[in-house]
Amino acid sequence: MSVRPSRAAVLAAIVVFSLMLGGALVPSVSRAQDGEPIELLVWDQFTEPAESEIVEQIYASFSEQNPNITIRREAIQNEQLRQTVRTALASGTGPDVIFYDAGPGYLGVLADAGLVTSLEPFAQEYGWTERIAESARLGASYDGQLYGMPLQVDLIGVYVNRTLMDQEGLATPTTLEEVLTFCQEATDKGYLPFAFANQEGWQSFHQFAMTANNMVGPEAMEQLLFENQGRWDSPEMVAAIDAFFVDMRDAGCFSPDANGINYDDGNAIFYGGQALLHATGNWLIGEITDNMPDYELEFVPFPALDGGAGRFFDTGVGSAYMISASSPNQEAAAQFLDYLFSPPVVQRWVDEANFVVPAEFDLEAVEATPLQRSVLEELASSIAGEERLGYNIDVLAPPAFNDMMQNGFQAMLAGDKTAEEQAADLQAAWEEGMSSGTPTS
Amino acid sequence: MTASWQRSRAAVFFVLPALALYLVFMVWPFLQSFWFATTDWNGATATKTYVGLANFSELLRDDLFWLALRNNLTWVVIGTVAPLVIGMTLAMLLWGRPRGFTLFRTVFFLPYVLLTVVIGIIWGWIYNPIFGILNKWLDGIGLDQVSRGWLGDPDTALLAVLLAAIWAEVGFVFVILLAGLQNVSRDLLEAATIDGANGWRRFKDVTVPQLANVLNVITALLLIGGFNVFDIIFVMTSGGPANATETMATMTFDQAFTQNRVGYASAISLVMTAISLVASVVFLRLRERGEG
């Protein structure tokens, strides 16, 4: 028996296919014009349910105020976003607005390829320059142009379990020498001194950022990161690497199996009171607050190193909102960004989502735990220019450099590499990355 | 118009959608990767600068590539032999349908139906240096000196991931071989027994030759899988620590999506394809020659 589709069925299929093709070729919304209905496709990374709900509400409130603009939101995990964003934007049919990593290996690549639009004209038009902290704008810029609106800045330091420290009669170490003594004392009392876990490898970026900034100081770090003035293989940098990855390793300041423990398990050690200190970022405050209701906690800068510049918290921009260069709705997208960074919405981000937005907000009006408030105060004073912060290195470094940090520091923890070798490899990776353009200058 | 032509036309009509998908999502990207491999494309820019064979010559000088290739070869050898030996042993044990046959068959096959992510998580827990059952067990029997962060130690990470992969793979090999054993002639085995052949001789000279086709297919699949292995490594170690579990596939992913070097990643993926293709063809030719 022969199977033969009817002519009508074939014609119907052709008509349907043609309509689909036509639909794909004709933009679903027209160019932004006053009053005309516009749909903005927004890709963000807020996949965590509580965060996602707040984001939905804020986007919805924008549409309520701008009835002609509908937000179609797609929340995508960071890893998936990194794999798809370049193709999506290059296709010309991707998102209008994207919340994506701000580093030169991410935002920089998109900007370099002309896939995201410079926000300079909008910054002038809407006054963003006055509203957003300069250091954060710098972190979301490429080749001197603002390409992203930074929603969150991170602060990296050391969480201290004050309750257990007091209970055991231990003082918070403020110098490397004190750290090494503290590690011995804490170990003798049955505690893990630091809840350091490095299976993923990125955690070591932050340990290095803390020791490096404390050694050379924020000014020298700024020169190195933004002007390429200085070297990663200098004796100071070797000492900074040595401090954490050799001295502290050998003093038993963290698990000898740190490379085999993932970030969540490391956090669990701290939450459970098995470790006394945890050197990581302010993004963990919410979880720490939820998981450690019976403990009093502090957030302090990493201890100073011998011959170093002092003790500094380190900061950096994680992700930022960008506008696709091929979006036909750039004005509407800018309007959307302006709304997200307007003072009342900034207050909502801080209040409801616990984000640290690099813009002015009313600190007194924020409902926060003492730990959260201390972090917000720290960042507020830095935004106001009252306090100098160090730089989180990986968000400003090229991918080859981050790769060398990740694998090189893991090798050091395993005892397979010296600080001098790692410093030399970091310098080589930096030069390789710089050959394709400085990140922000 | 003949009936056979009408039948062919209908067949073509039904094959077309699948063929179109295959051409668009398999053939075209594969052909494109030849072009990408000769450029320095970063995956984002509109222009792709032609660099000739520079990516391939860089590959030859890249220590990481040779490390990845060595890891692949380790994976191919151990990851092919171990599932075959274990799967064959289990299949032979259950061939005579002993008591509990259905239970054992289900238990042995179960790991294969688990998602790679699930396998990665389960074995991650087993290897965990804080609460992992492996270290607890070693401590319990007095081998606490051996305890370690198995996935965090560059000396053990590859073998630890490989063990998890073998555990998952054995079920597949076992079921296929068990099915193959159903076609092995009992008469020939009885004749060999009467001729005085011991158990090993019966297995080597009677059973295995009758399983040749099944073994060929399984070995070829394991070989190709060994050269292309990605998912379980990505889930368990992402190529770390210190590149200790890097393979050609994880390196390709890292170069394309983290280092923004799509051109270089394409060159690696082409070399990977060529190696697995050559290895499979050589293996099949050797088998054919052996059978001849």
The pLDDT tens digits for A331-376 are 999 999 999 999 999 999 988 888 888 888 888 888 888 888 888 8
- In chain A, pLDDT over 90 holds for what percent of residues? 68
Q: Rounded distance, CA A326 to CA A86, Å? A: 12
Query: What's chain B's average pLDDT?
Result: 92
| A86 contacts in chain B (CB < 8 Å) | 43-44
Among positive and negative, which fits the CA dihedral A388, A389, A395, A401?
positive
List of chain A residues whose C-beta atoms are within 8 Å of the C-beta of residue B150: 260
User: How close does chain B come to A327, measured CA to CA in Å?
Assistant: 16
Question: For testing the chain A interface, which of B32, B63, B258, B264 should be mutated: the one with the most A CBs within 10 Å?
Answer: B258
Q: Are A305 and A241 in contact (CB under 8 A)?
A: no
| pTM, two decimal places | 0.86
pLDDT higher than threshold 60 for residue A93: yes
Torsion of CA A191, A193, A194, A197, to 10 degrees: -50
Instruction: Kindly determine whether residue B148 and residue A260, on different chains, have CB atoms separated by under 8 Å.
Output: yes
Query: Distance, in angstroms, between A256 CA and closest chain B CA?
Result: 8
How close does chain A come to B260, measured CA to CA in Å? Answer: 8
Please report, rounded to a whole number, the percentage of residues in chain A having pLDDT higher than 70.
Answer: 91
Determine, for residues B260 and A258 on separate chains, whether the beta-carbon distance falls below 8 Å.
Answer: no
Which band of pLDDT confidence, cut at 50, 70 and 90, is reported for residue B284?
confident
Q: Which residue of B has its CA nearest to A403?
A: B259
Which pLDDT belongs to residue A17?
39
- How large is the C-alpha radius of gyration of chain B? 24
| Residue A385 in this model has a pLDDT that exceeds 70 | yes
Which A positions 265-284 lie with beta carbon below 8 A of chain B? 265, 269
The values of phi and psi at residue A116, to 5°, are: -120, 155
Of A11-20, A115-124, B235-244, which range is least confident? A11-20
Structure tokens at B252: 């390709």
Q: Given an 8 Å threshold on Cβ–Cβ distance, is A199 in contact with B46?
A: no
A16–chain B Cβ distance below 8 A for any pair: no
Q: Do the chains contact at B152 and A199, CB–CB below 8 Å?
A: yes
> What pLDDT band is residue B292 in, cutting at 50, 70 and 90?
low
Q: Taking residues B92-116, what's their average pLDDT?
A: 90
Contact A98, A324 (CB under 8 A): yes
Q: Which two tokens stand for residue A231?
A: 């070297």
**pLDDT score recorded for residue B1:** 57
Res. A21 pLDDT band, cuts 50 70 90: very low
**A162 pLDDT above the threshold of 90:** yes
Note the pLDDT of residue B64.
96
Q: What is the mean pLDDT of residues B223-232?
A: 94
- Is A150's pLDDT higher than 80? yes
Minimal Cβ distance to A399: which of B10, B243, B260 = B260
What sign does the CA torsion over A122, A318, A60, A91 have? Answer: positive
Phi, psi of A117 (to 5 degrees): -95, 150
Mean of the per-residue pLDDT values for chain A? 88
Chain A residues whose beta carbon lies within 8 Å of the beta carbon of residue B149: 255-261
What is the average pLDDT across A29-45? 75
Reported as a pLDDT band with limits 50, 70 and 90, residue A33 is: very low
- Residues A115-123 have a mean pLDDT of 96
Q: Is residue A31 predicted with pLDDT exceeding 70?
A: no
At A194-241, the pLDDT tens digits run: 999 999 999 999 999 999 999 999 999 999 998 899 999 999 999 999
